[in-house]
Protein backbone atom coordinates (compact mmCIF):
# COMPACT_ATOMS: atom_id res chain seq x y z
CA UNK A 1 0.00 0.00 0.00
CA UNK A 2 1.44 3.36 -1.05
CA UNK A 3 1.31 5.92 1.74
CA UNK A 4 2.23 9.57 1.11
CA UNK A 5 2.83 12.01 3.94
CA UNK A 6 2.40 15.45 2.37
CA UNK A 7 3.47 17.76 5.21
CA UNK A 8 5.38 15.72 7.73
CA UNK A 9 7.89 18.29 8.99
CA UNK A 10 5.96 19.88 11.83
CA UNK A 11 4.94 16.50 13.26
CA UNK A 12 8.43 15.10 12.97
CA UNK A 13 11.19 17.64 12.36
CA UNK A 14 13.68 14.90 13.21
CA UNK A 15 13.11 14.12 16.88
CA UNK A 16 10.58 11.32 16.29
CA UNK A 17 10.60 8.04 14.37
CA UNK A 18 8.19 7.45 11.48
CA UNK A 19 8.40 3.69 12.25
CA UNK A 20 4.76 3.29 13.43
CA UNK A 21 3.56 4.43 9.98
CA UNK A 22 6.43 2.90 7.99
CA UNK A 23 5.46 -0.53 9.36
CA UNK A 24 2.15 -0.26 7.51
CA UNK A 25 3.31 0.18 3.91
CA UNK A 26 5.61 1.82 1.42
CA UNK A 27 5.91 5.41 2.69
CA UNK A 28 6.95 8.59 0.88
CA UNK A 29 7.52 11.52 3.20
CA UNK A 30 7.49 15.17 2.15
CA UNK A 31 8.30 17.87 4.69
CA UNK A 32 5.85 20.26 3.02
CA UNK A 33 3.87 20.34 -0.24
CA UNK A 34 2.77 23.38 -2.21
CA UNK A 35 -0.82 23.25 -3.57
CA UNK A 36 0.51 22.64 -7.09
CA UNK A 37 2.63 19.67 -5.91
CA UNK A 38 -0.12 17.71 -4.14
CA UNK A 39 -1.68 15.83 -7.05
CA UNK A 40 1.62 14.70 -8.55
CA UNK A 41 2.94 13.53 -5.17
CA UNK A 42 -0.25 11.78 -4.08
CA UNK A 43 -1.00 10.18 -7.50
CA UNK A 44 -1.23 6.40 -7.13
CA UNK A 45 -1.37 6.53 -3.33
CA UNK A 46 -4.22 4.79 -1.52
CA UNK A 47 -3.34 6.63 1.68
CA UNK A 48 -2.30 10.20 2.32
CA UNK A 49 -1.49 11.84 5.63
CA UNK A 50 -1.86 15.60 5.97
CA UNK A 51 -1.66 17.98 8.86
CA UNK A 52 -2.51 21.39 7.35
CA UNK A 53 -2.31 20.72 3.60
CA UNK A 54 -5.68 21.65 2.11
CA UNK A 55 -7.43 18.80 0.27
CA UNK A 56 -10.21 20.51 -1.67
CA UNK A 57 -12.84 18.83 -3.83
CA UNK A 58 -10.90 19.89 -6.95
CA UNK A 59 -7.78 18.11 -5.68
CA UNK A 60 -9.63 14.99 -4.52
CA UNK A 61 -11.27 14.71 -7.97
CA UNK A 62 -7.75 14.26 -9.40
CA UNK A 63 -6.87 11.42 -7.00
CA UNK A 64 -9.15 8.56 -8.09
CA UNK A 65 -7.07 5.88 -6.32
CA UNK A 66 -7.23 7.55 -2.92
CA UNK A 67 -9.03 5.52 -0.26
CA UNK A 68 -7.93 7.05 3.02
CA UNK A 69 -6.96 10.48 4.36
CA UNK A 70 -5.30 10.44 7.75
CA UNK A 71 -5.34 13.90 9.32
CA UNK A 72 -2.39 14.15 11.68
CA UNK A 73 -4.29 16.69 13.78
CA UNK A 74 -7.53 17.09 15.71
CA UNK A 75 -8.92 19.88 13.53
CA UNK A 76 -9.85 18.69 10.04
CA UNK A 77 -11.23 21.91 8.55
CA UNK A 78 -8.58 21.66 5.78
CA UNK A 79 -10.37 18.68 4.22
CA UNK A 80 -13.47 18.94 2.03
CA UNK A 81 -15.31 16.18 3.87
CA UNK A 82 -18.35 16.19 1.57
CA UNK A 83 -16.12 15.85 -1.51
CA UNK A 84 -14.25 12.96 0.16
CA UNK A 85 -17.52 11.16 0.94
CA UNK A 86 -18.63 10.97 -2.71
CA UNK A 87 -15.95 8.47 -3.83
CA UNK A 88 -16.03 6.85 -0.36
CA UNK A 89 -12.68 8.14 0.92
CA UNK A 90 -12.40 7.55 4.66
CA UNK A 91 -11.11 10.56 6.62
CA UNK A 92 -9.86 10.16 10.18
CA UNK A 93 -8.49 12.62 12.71
CA UNK A 94 -6.61 12.19 15.98
CA UNK A 95 -8.56 13.20 19.06
CA UNK A 96 -7.21 14.26 22.42
CA UNK A 97 -3.52 13.66 21.68
CA UNK A 98 -2.66 17.24 22.67
CA UNK A 99 -5.43 18.32 25.05
CA UNK A 100 -3.10 18.77 28.04
CA UNK A 101 -0.55 20.65 25.91
CA UNK A 102 -3.15 22.96 24.36
CA UNK A 103 -4.75 23.68 27.74
CA UNK A 104 -1.27 24.49 29.09
CA UNK A 105 -0.61 26.88 26.18
CA UNK A 106 -4.00 28.52 26.73
CA UNK A 107 -2.86 29.45 30.22
CA UNK A 108 0.62 30.40 28.99
CA UNK A 109 -1.08 32.99 26.76
CA UNK A 110 -3.38 34.15 29.54
CA UNK A 111 -0.58 34.44 32.08
CA UNK A 112 1.58 36.32 29.62
CA UNK A 113 -1.19 38.96 29.44
CA UNK A 114 -2.05 39.20 33.14
CA UNK A 115 1.44 38.78 34.64
CA UNK A 116 3.73 39.87 31.78
CA UNK A 117 6.61 37.76 33.14
CA UNK A 118 8.60 38.05 29.91
CA UNK A 119 8.13 41.83 29.63
CA UNK A 120 9.22 42.31 33.26
CA UNK A 121 12.19 39.99 32.85
CA UNK A 122 13.31 41.88 29.75
CA UNK A 123 13.04 45.12 31.71
CA UNK A 124 15.18 43.69 34.52
CA UNK A 125 17.85 42.51 32.07
CA UNK A 126 17.73 45.94 30.41
CA UNK A 127 18.86 47.39 33.77
CA UNK A 128 15.57 48.98 34.86
CA UNK A 129 15.40 47.16 38.23
CA UNK A 130 18.97 48.09 39.09
CA UNK A 131 18.08 51.71 38.33
CA UNK A 132 14.74 51.62 40.17
CA UNK A 133 14.07 53.84 43.22
CA UNK A 134 11.86 51.13 44.76
CA UNK A 135 12.27 47.46 45.60
CA UNK A 136 9.62 46.71 42.97
CA UNK A 137 7.88 48.24 40.00
CA UNK A 138 5.53 47.01 37.30
CA UNK A 139 5.32 48.03 33.68
CA UNK A 140 1.74 46.99 33.08
CA UNK A 141 -1.24 46.39 35.39
CA UNK A 142 -1.15 42.95 37.06
CA UNK A 143 -4.41 41.03 37.39
CA UNK A 144 -5.34 38.18 39.74
CA UNK A 145 -7.23 35.34 38.04
CA UNK A 146 -8.88 34.00 41.20
CA UNK A 147 -12.48 35.15 41.27
CA UNK A 148 -12.55 36.06 37.58
CA UNK A 149 -14.92 34.37 35.11
CA UNK A 150 -13.64 32.41 32.13
CA UNK A 151 -16.12 31.69 29.35
CA UNK A 152 -15.34 28.67 27.19
CA UNK A 153 -16.76 28.32 23.70
CA UNK A 154 -16.46 24.56 23.18
CA UNK A 155 -16.22 22.14 26.07
CA UNK A 156 -14.78 19.01 24.45
CA UNK A 157 -11.42 17.38 25.10
CA UNK A 158 -9.47 20.65 25.28
CA UNK A 159 -12.12 22.95 26.74
CA UNK A 160 -12.67 20.47 29.60
CA UNK A 161 -8.97 20.52 30.50
CA UNK A 162 -8.89 24.31 30.34
CA UNK A 163 -11.87 24.31 32.71
CA UNK A 164 -9.99 22.14 35.24
CA UNK A 165 -6.97 24.44 35.21
CA UNK A 166 -9.21 27.51 35.52
CA UNK A 167 -10.95 25.97 38.53
CA UNK A 168 -7.55 25.29 40.10
CA UNK A 169 -6.77 29.01 39.65
CA UNK A 170 -9.97 29.84 41.54
CA UNK A 171 -11.82 31.04 38.46
CA UNK A 172 -15.55 30.69 37.82
CA UNK A 173 -16.10 28.66 34.64
CA UNK A 174 -19.02 29.24 32.31
CA UNK A 175 -19.30 27.44 28.98
CA UNK A 176 -21.22 27.25 25.73
CA UNK A 177 -21.14 24.17 23.51
CA UNK A 178 -23.12 22.75 20.62
CA UNK A 179 -24.98 20.10 22.62
CA UNK A 180 -25.38 21.57 26.12
CA UNK A 181 -25.49 19.14 29.02
CA UNK A 182 -24.79 19.69 32.71
CA UNK A 183 -21.16 19.39 33.82
CA UNK A 184 -20.31 19.57 37.52
CA UNK A 185 -18.56 22.78 38.51
CA UNK A 186 -19.31 24.51 35.18
CA UNK A 187 -22.31 26.73 34.43
CA UNK A 188 -23.67 26.17 30.93
CA UNK A 189 -24.84 29.47 29.45
CA UNK A 190 -25.90 31.04 26.16
CA UNK A 191 -23.34 32.45 23.74
CA UNK A 192 -24.55 35.94 24.59
CA UNK A 193 -23.87 35.35 28.29
CA UNK A 194 -20.36 34.13 27.47
CA UNK A 195 -19.59 37.49 25.89
CA UNK A 196 -21.35 39.61 28.51
CA UNK A 197 -20.17 37.87 31.69
CA UNK A 198 -16.64 36.67 30.93
CA UNK A 199 -13.39 38.29 32.01
CA UNK A 200 -11.68 35.82 29.67
CA UNK A 201 -13.27 34.23 26.59
CA UNK A 202 -11.41 31.17 25.31
CA UNK A 203 -12.16 29.40 22.02
CA UNK A 204 -12.12 25.59 21.98
CA UNK A 205 -14.57 24.72 19.21
CA UNK A 206 -13.83 23.45 15.69
CA UNK A 207 -13.84 25.81 12.72
CA UNK A 208 -17.14 25.27 10.90
CA UNK A 209 -19.62 27.43 9.01
CA UNK A 210 -21.36 27.94 12.35
CA UNK A 211 -18.28 29.09 14.29
CA UNK A 212 -16.40 31.09 11.63
CA UNK A 213 -15.73 34.63 12.91
CA UNK A 214 -17.64 33.98 16.12
CA UNK A 215 -15.42 36.75 17.50
CA UNK A 216 -16.59 39.75 15.52
CA UNK A 217 -17.41 43.42 16.02
CA UNK A 218 -20.90 42.73 17.37
CA UNK A 219 -19.80 40.11 19.91
CA UNK A 220 -16.71 42.12 20.92
CA UNK A 221 -19.03 45.05 21.69
CA UNK A 222 -20.88 42.87 24.21
CA UNK A 223 -17.69 42.16 26.16
CA UNK A 224 -16.26 43.95 29.21
CA UNK A 225 -13.62 46.55 28.38
CA UNK A 226 -11.28 44.63 30.72
CA UNK A 227 -11.86 41.29 28.97
CA UNK A 228 -9.32 39.09 27.22
CA UNK A 229 -9.89 36.82 24.20
CA UNK A 230 -7.86 33.61 23.85
CA UNK A 231 -7.75 31.53 20.69
CA UNK A 232 -5.97 28.19 20.52
CA UNK A 233 -8.65 26.80 18.18
CA UNK A 234 -8.44 28.04 14.60
CA UNK A 235 -7.58 31.51 13.27
CA UNK A 236 -10.76 32.07 11.24
CA UNK A 237 -12.85 31.81 14.44
CA UNK A 238 -11.89 35.48 14.75
CA UNK A 239 -12.62 38.37 12.39
CA UNK A 240 -9.08 39.67 12.70
CA UNK A 241 -9.67 43.25 11.54
CA UNK A 242 -12.52 43.57 14.07
CA UNK A 243 -10.33 42.22 16.89
CA UNK A 244 -7.43 44.50 15.97
CA UNK A 245 -9.78 47.52 16.01
CA UNK A 246 -11.24 46.43 19.35
CA UNK A 247 -7.74 46.20 20.87
CA UNK A 248 -6.74 49.55 19.43
CA UNK A 249 -9.88 51.29 20.70
CA UNK A 250 -9.95 49.65 24.14
CA UNK A 251 -13.19 47.76 23.45
CA UNK A 252 -11.46 44.79 25.13
CA UNK A 253 -8.17 44.68 27.02
CA UNK A 254 -6.12 41.95 25.37
CA UNK A 255 -5.83 38.90 23.15
CA UNK A 256 -3.71 35.77 23.35
CA UNK A 257 -3.60 33.88 20.07
CA UNK A 258 -1.91 30.66 18.99
CA UNK A 259 -3.60 30.59 15.59
CA UNK A 260 -4.23 33.09 12.81
CA UNK A 261 -6.43 33.06 9.70
CA UNK A 262 -3.43 32.47 7.43
CA UNK A 263 -0.43 30.49 8.72
CA UNK A 264 2.21 31.68 8.33
CA UNK A 265 0.54 35.11 8.46
CA UNK A 266 0.93 37.79 5.84
CA UNK A 267 2.97 40.79 6.98
CA UNK A 268 -0.10 43.03 6.84
CA UNK A 269 -2.20 40.94 9.24
CA UNK A 270 -3.72 43.69 11.44
CA UNK A 271 -3.13 41.67 14.61
CA UNK A 272 0.64 41.81 14.12
CA UNK A 273 0.51 45.52 14.98
CA UNK A 274 -2.34 45.46 17.50
CA UNK A 275 -1.70 46.51 21.11
CA UNK A 276 -1.97 44.08 24.03
CA UNK A 277 -1.85 41.12 21.70
CA UNK A 278 0.32 38.07 22.36
CA UNK A 279 0.76 35.67 19.45
CA UNK A 280 2.48 32.28 19.29
CA UNK A 281 3.07 30.42 15.99
CA UNK A 282 0.50 27.58 16.32
CA UNK A 283 2.63 25.73 18.87
CA UNK A 284 -0.02 24.64 21.38
CA UNK A 285 -0.03 21.04 20.09
CA UNK A 286 3.69 20.81 19.45
CA UNK A 287 5.15 19.47 22.70
CA UNK A 288 7.34 16.42 22.15
CA UNK A 289 4.96 14.32 24.25
CA UNK A 290 1.89 15.29 22.21
CA UNK A 291 3.60 14.80 18.84
CA UNK A 292 4.83 11.36 19.91
CA UNK A 293 1.27 10.37 20.86
CA UNK A 294 0.02 11.84 17.58
CA UNK A 295 2.43 9.71 15.53
CA UNK A 296 1.34 6.53 17.31
CA UNK A 297 -2.38 7.32 17.14
CA UNK A 298 -2.22 8.29 13.44
CA UNK A 299 -0.63 4.90 12.74
CA UNK A 300 -3.28 3.13 14.83
CA UNK A 301 -6.00 4.90 12.83
CA UNK A 302 -4.48 3.66 9.55
CA UNK A 303 -3.97 0.17 10.93
CA UNK A 304 -7.65 -0.03 11.94
CA UNK A 305 -8.67 1.17 8.46
CA UNK A 306 -6.45 -1.47 6.82
CA UNK A 307 -8.10 -4.16 8.95
CA UNK A 308 -11.49 -3.01 7.69
CA UNK A 309 -12.64 -1.42 10.96
CA UNK A 310 -11.83 2.29 10.65
CA UNK A 311 -11.81 4.31 13.86
CA UNK A 312 -11.95 8.07 14.47
CA UNK A 313 -13.74 8.64 11.17
CA UNK A 314 -14.87 12.26 10.85
CA UNK A 315 -18.02 13.46 9.17
N1 LIG B 1 -3.62 25.17 18.47
C2 LIG B 1 -3.42 23.86 18.39
O3 LIG B 1 -2.27 23.42 18.37
C4 LIG B 1 -4.58 22.92 18.37
C5 LIG B 1 -5.83 23.36 18.04
N6 LIG B 1 -6.90 22.49 18.06
C7 LIG B 1 -8.23 23.02 17.73
O8 LIG B 1 -9.05 22.89 18.88
C9 LIG B 1 -10.34 22.45 18.46
C10 LIG B 1 -11.04 21.76 19.61
O11 LIG B 1 -10.37 20.55 19.91
P12 LIG B 1 -11.00 19.47 20.91
O13 LIG B 1 -11.42 20.09 22.18
O14 LIG B 1 -10.03 18.35 20.95
O15 LIG B 1 -12.30 19.04 20.09
P16 LIG B 1 -13.61 18.33 20.63
O17 LIG B 1 -14.31 17.80 19.43
O18 LIG B 1 -13.30 17.42 21.75
O19 LIG B 1 -14.48 19.55 21.22
C20 LIG B 1 -15.05 20.52 20.41
C21 LIG B 1 -16.06 21.29 21.23
O22 LIG B 1 -16.59 22.33 20.40
C23 LIG B 1 -18.00 22.33 20.54
N24 LIG B 1 -18.64 22.88 19.36
C25 LIG B 1 -18.77 22.33 18.13
N26 LIG B 1 -19.46 23.17 17.33
C27 LIG B 1 -19.77 24.24 18.09
C28 LIG B 1 -20.51 25.42 17.85
N29 LIG B 1 -21.06 25.68 16.66
N30 LIG B 1 -20.63 26.30 18.87
C31 LIG B 1 -20.09 26.05 20.07
N32 LIG B 1 -19.39 24.95 20.37
C33 LIG B 1 -19.25 24.06 19.38
C34 LIG B 1 -18.39 20.89 20.78
O35 LIG B 1 -19.65 20.87 21.39
P36 LIG B 1 -20.40 19.50 21.85
O37 LIG B 1 -19.43 18.79 22.76
O38 LIG B 1 -21.60 19.98 22.57
O39 LIG B 1 -20.66 18.75 20.59
C40 LIG B 1 -17.24 20.46 21.70
O41 LIG B 1 -17.57 20.78 23.03
C42 LIG B 1 -10.05 21.57 17.25
O43 LIG B 1 -11.17 21.47 16.39
C44 LIG B 1 -8.88 22.27 16.59
O45 LIG B 1 -9.36 23.18 15.62
C46 LIG B 1 -6.74 21.19 18.42
C47 LIG B 1 -5.49 20.70 18.75
C48 LIG B 1 -4.31 21.51 18.70
O1 LIG C 1 -4.29 19.06 16.09
C2 LIG C 1 -4.62 20.16 15.61
O3 LIG C 1 -5.81 20.43 15.34
C4 LIG C 1 -3.61 21.18 15.35
O5 LIG C 1 -3.93 22.30 15.06
C6 LIG C 1 -2.18 20.81 15.33
O7 LIG C 1 -1.82 20.48 14.06
Q: Please report the pLDDT score of residue 49 as a whole number.
A: 99
Q: Please report the pLDDT score of residue 234 as a whole number.
A: 99
At the second CATH level, the architecture of 99-279 is 3-Layer(aba) Sandwich (3.40)
Looking only at the bridges linking them, the beta strands covering 47-50 and 26-29 are unpaired
Which residue among 92, 165, 177, 210 is best mutated to probe the pocket of ligand 1, counting the most ligand atoms within 8 A of its Cβ? 177
- Encode pLDDT of 258-276 as tens digits: 999 999 999 999 999 999 9
Q: Is 159 in the pocket of ligand 1 (CB under 6 A)?
A: yes
Q: What integer is the mean pLDDT of 54-61?
A: 98
Nearest-CA residue for ligand 1 atom 19 is 156
Q: Please report the pLDDT score of residue 296 as a whole number.
A: 98
Annotated active-site positions, please?
234, 263, 282
Q: What confidence category does residue 101 fall into, taking pLDDT thresholds of 50, 70 and 90?
A: very high
Residue ranges, comma separated, of all CATH 3.40.50.720 domains in the chain are 2-97+288-306, 99-279
Provide the CATH topology of domain 2-97+288-306: Rossmann fold (3.40.50)
- Encode pLDDT of 152-198 as tens digits: 999 999 999 999 999 999 999 999 999 989 999 999 999 999 999 99
Amino acid sequence: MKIVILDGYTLNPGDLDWAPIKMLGEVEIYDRSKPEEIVERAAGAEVVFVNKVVLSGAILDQLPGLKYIGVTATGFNNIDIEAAKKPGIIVTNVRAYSSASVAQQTFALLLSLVNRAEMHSQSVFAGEWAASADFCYWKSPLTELAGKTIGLIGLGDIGSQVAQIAIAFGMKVIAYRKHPKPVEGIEMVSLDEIFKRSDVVSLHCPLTDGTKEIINKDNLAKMKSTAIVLNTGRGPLIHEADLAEALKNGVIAGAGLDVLSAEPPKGDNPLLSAPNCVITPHVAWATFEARKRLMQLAAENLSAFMKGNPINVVS
